[in-house]
């Protein structure tokens, strides 16, 4: 039996296979509200046959957005708009759906990628004052962040909790805390961006403090049937920054606190990063972390071939495979992977007639196993 198409549990959440659609920003919200684009986007991904769909980085406050067009979950309007999208998607797909809750920190207040993606100063249209652990901009020439004081840190924790409570009301089955890609929780973890001299800076224990506070506070308000996990950058790819050894220590601490999964990415914190891009370039980091914990680990990063995804699981380098840009390029990747690996995949009844003649038995009606 294909490992990729075998079941997996992330804490209380049972998945029919080990293909995870990773969060992918769409920069198509209106004041944080989901739009028709999200119905189209999430709707097609929910027909892909994957085991889990995680909604894009969703800001816990207006200042937590990467761009002015980011999805949010900080007020009633955001909640209602996302609820409308989810109702439409769920009407036609039983796929489990989660959400990634995020705060962009010093990488907030930017233009959309197709408009250059550059930092926008607070006094400019679509701009605002960004926050960070220390007053260090992401790159030279960017506006200087405001260093969070203790009251500001407390407010960030409260914002994550409030967003998580909204996610629960929306019936989302999984919450992923975004502590990767150079955003706020990652900024506190890395000594390159965190130069504080208080209880939130310096030693590893202190740099982990905010993420652990957020994790504990969110976990306290979640019902037992909602999975909670964390996405991390395993390394900054910069000398003297966050690295795999520190990631392993964090993973152990999170596991002791009841973490249900770890989604392992890398980079994004410092423009000096030197990333050796290639198929599965982040898998060795995921494998090193997996070897140290029992928490399920999701590997991601240029995993595009079904045989490669299968090998990663067979070799116990990870427990699940995350797909991002690859599934945007090929929204039926799980179908094609099942065909290549001799497995079965769920498809909605409206699509059963498209099963190729030479692949009879590939499809099973959605919701069956």
Concatenated DSSP letters for 124-192? STT----EESSS--SSTTSPPPEEP-HHHHHHHHHHHHHHHHHHHHTT-SEEEEEE-TTSHHHHHH-TT
CA dist 108 → 102, 121, 190 (Å): 11, 10, 17
The catalytic residue among 27, 183, 281, 351 is 183
At residue 63, the pLDDT reads 98
At residue 241, the pLDDT reads 97
At residue 365, the pLDDT reads 77
The yes-or-no verdict on residue 366 having pLDDT over 80 is no
pLDDT digits (tens, 9 = 90+) for 42-88: 999 999 999 999 999 999 999 999 999 999 999 999 999 999 999 99
At residue 295, the pLDDT reads 98
Beta-ladder partners of 191: none
183 assigned to active site: yes
C-beta separation of 6 from 319 below 8 A: no
Locate 152 and state its tokens: 């500001």
Secondary element (H or E) of residue 253: helix 244-256
pTM of structure: 0.97
């Amino acid at each position: 039996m294909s490992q990729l198409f075998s079941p997996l549990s992330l804490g209380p959440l049972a998945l029919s296979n080990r293909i995870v659609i990773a969060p992918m920003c769409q920069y198509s919200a209106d004041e944080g509200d989901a739009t028709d684009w999200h119905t189209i986007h999430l709707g097609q991904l929910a027909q892909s046959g994957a085991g889990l769909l995680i909604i894009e980085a969703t800001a816990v406050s207006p200042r937590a957005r990467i761009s002015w067009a980011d999805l949010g979950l900080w007020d009633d309007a955001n909640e209602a708009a996302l609820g409308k999208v989810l109702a439409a998607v769920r009407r036609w797909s039983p796929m489990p759906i989660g959400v990634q809750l995020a705060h962009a920190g010093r990488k907030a207040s930017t233009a959309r990628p197709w408009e250059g993606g550059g930092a926008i100063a607070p006094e400019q249209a679509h701009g605002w004052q960004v926050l960070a652990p220390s007053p260090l901009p992401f790159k030279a020439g960017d506006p200087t962040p405001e260093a969070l004081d203790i009251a500001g840190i407390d407010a960030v924790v409260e914002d994550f909790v409030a967003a998580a409570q909204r996610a629960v009301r929306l019936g989302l089955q999984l919450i992923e805390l975004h502590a990767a890609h150079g955003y706020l929780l990652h900024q506190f973890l890395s000594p390159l961006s965190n130069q504080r001299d208080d209880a939130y800076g310096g030693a590893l224990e202190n740099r982990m403090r905010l993420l652990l506070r957020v994790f504990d506070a969110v976990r306290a308000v979640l019902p037992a049937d909602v999975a909670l996990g964390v996405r991390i950058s395993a390394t900054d790819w910069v000398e003297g920054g966050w690295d795999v050894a520190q990631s392993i220590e964090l993973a152990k601490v999170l596991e002791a606190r009841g973490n249900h999964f770890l989604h392992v990415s890398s980079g994004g914190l410092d423009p000096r990063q030197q990333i050796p891009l290639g198929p599965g370039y982040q898998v060795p980091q995921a494998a090193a972390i997996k070897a140290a914990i029992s928490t399920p680990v999701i590997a991601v990063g240029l995993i595009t071939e079904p045989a490669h995804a299968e090998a990663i699981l067979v070799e116990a380098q990870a427990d699940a495979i995350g797909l991002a840009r690859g599934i945007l390029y090929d929204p039926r990747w799980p179908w094609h992977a099942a065909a290549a690996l001799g497995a079965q995949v769920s498809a909605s009844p409206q699509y059963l007639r498209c099963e190729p003649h030479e692949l009879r038995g590939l499809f099973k009606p959605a919701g069956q196993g």
